[in-house]
Structures are given as structure tokens and as C-alpha cells.
Amino acid sequence: MYKNILVPIVFDKERDTNPAIEVAQALAEDGARITLLHVMDEVPPYALSYLSEEYLTEARKAIVTEMEQMVSGVQNAHADVVSGHSGRTILEYAGEKGMDCIVITSHQPGMQDYLLGSTAARVVRHAKCAVHVIR
């Protein structure tokens, strides 16, 4: 059982994050803290000139609202939204916050994943805590 569980959340249509949240709840000991984390990819500088500041602000607000709805049904849970590179940021966040478990969803790998590596694969390879991968 774990005391401090991190569940990275991705808003891709083909990924259902509910199983990861359910597994986190099953792995949590009494009083454990569950953190749902969404990493907003940083927009490349060349693309920033094409996006209004309002668009970025509204996108972040929408994600925060969605995350708060997700966390409302999970006991001892909270949501956090940060910016950065997904794999690296998840690992840094887990280390900084003292996570003892990461529950992450993964998709069926495609050729690009074998060549570049998926976020879940990076987290599994480099995490300093237990990682449960949900397919």
C-alpha cells in the first residue's frame, strides 16, 4: 500500500484515465494522498506568436476545471496543472513531492514509440518509486 500516489492525466480521446484513478484508490492505504497531475506541453516559441494570451489562459482554466471535477469524487485527492515536457516533468514532480507510487496509463505502442519512447516508458525507466502502468 502507498501513502502518496501520483496519477498523470492526459486528455486524449483514446485514453480513459478512470482505470488509473481506480487502481490508485485500490493501492492507497488509509489516509493516503492521491494527486492527479496534468502536464501542459510548453508551446514552442515560433508558435506563440500565432496564439493569443487569452487562448492559453482559457485553455489552462478549462483544464483546471476538468481536473477539479475529476478529483471531486476521489477521497484525499487534489489536482495540479503544471507546464513542461510530460515525461521529465512527471518525474521531477514525483521526486519533489515525495511520491511513493505513480499510476500511469499507456496506449498500445506504435512505431514512433519504439523509436522515440512514450511518456509511460520514460517514467517506468527513470522513476525512483514504484510505477503501475495501466493499459
pLDDT tens digits, residue range 70-89? 999 899 999 999 999 999 99
Entry pTM: 0.90
Closest to 101 (Cα-Cα) out of 124, 75, 78: 124
Q: Cα(94)–Cα(88) distance, rounded to whole angstroms? A: 10
pLDDT at 116: 45
pLDDT at 108: 64
DSSP state of 73: T
The residues of the chain scoring below 50 in pLDDT are 115-116
Q: Cα(53)–Cα(32) distance, rounded to whole angstroms? A: 37
Angle between helices 119-126 and 86-97 (to 10 degrees): 40
CATH of 2-134 given 3.40.50.1820, 3.40.50.620, 3.40.50.10890, 1.10.10.10: 3.40.50.620
